Amino acid sequence: MTLCLLGVALACGKRDSRNLPNDGQQAVVDSLSDSTRPQPARRDSTSATVLIVGTSLTAGLGLDPYDAYPGVLQRMADSAGYRVDVVAAGVSGETSAGALRRIDWLLQKPADVIVVETGANDGLRGLDIDSTRTNLLEIMRRSAALKPNARLFLVQMEAPPNLGPRYTTSFRAMFPEVAREGHAELIPFLLDGVAGVPDLNQPDGIHPNERGSMVVAANVWRALEPALRQVTSR
C-alpha cells in the first residue's frame, strides 16, 4: 500500500515537523515511548475480541507488529484494564472489494468490536465512488448479520487531491453516509495529525513510524474505548 498512503498523505495537505500532535496525543506518545516492552496482560476465554479489518496501515507495513497501531491499542487496552484481544487483519494494497471478499471468512471467528479501515486504495486508483460505497455498505451489512451483537466502526479515509475537488469531496462525504446507512460508528480520519508530518512517518514519508503509530492509535482509542467499556461489562 505504499502508493496508497502517498495519496492519503497528499489528501491531508502539506505539513511540517512543527505540526505535532495535540497535548492529548502527545501524552499517549510519551506514555508509550518507554524502551522496555512489557508482556501483554494475560487474557482468558472471557476476553472480548476487537477485529480490525484494514490495509497496510493496520498490517503495520515497515513496523514490528508490536509497534503498529493495533499493537499500541492492545497495550492501551491492557493498561486500562480491559480484557480484550486486538486482532489486526490488514492486507497491504487491498481495496474495499478485497475486504468484502474476506469479511465472511474473517467473521467466522469471535468479534465483539469490528473496525473497518479500507477504501484508501480505491481513492488512490480513482475507482468509482458508487462501487466503493456499495462494497463498504455490504461489509457493514454482512458484519451486522454475522455478528449482530458486535459494535461496528468505519474509519474515515481520504482520496488524493490530484483526482480533483469533486472526486475528493464526494469520497470524503461517502464515509459518514455509509456509517449512517450501515448503522456503524464513524472514526475520524485515521492519519489525523500524522499524514505529512516528517517526524511521525517512516523515511518514505508515507507510513507512520513508531511515534506516528502511537498517534494513530490515540485517534482510534477515543472512539474505541467506550465500546470496550461496554463489551467487557457484558
The whole-angstrom separation of Cα 27 and Cα 35 is: 16
Residue among 56, 96, 143, 213 flagged as catalytic: 56
Residue entry with cell 512543527: 18
Residue among 47, 78, 112, 207 flagged as catalytic: 207
Angle at 142 between CA 141 and CA 144, to 5 degrees: 65
Residue 207 is a catalytic residue: yes
DSSP the chain: -HHHHHHHHHHT----TT----HHHHHHHHHT--S--PPPPP--TT-EEEEEEESHHHHTTTS-TTTSHHHHHHHHHHHTT--EEEEEEE-TT--HHHHHHHHHHHTTS--SEEEE---HHHHHTT--HHHHHHHHHHHHHHHHHH-TTSEEEEE-----GGG-HHHHHHHHHHHHHHHHHTT-EEEP-TTTTTTT-GGGB-TTSSSB-HHHHHHHHHHHHHHHHHHHHHHTT-
Residue among 16, 104, 128, 204 flagged as catalytic: 204
Residue 204 is a catalytic residue: yes
Active site residues: 56, 204, 207
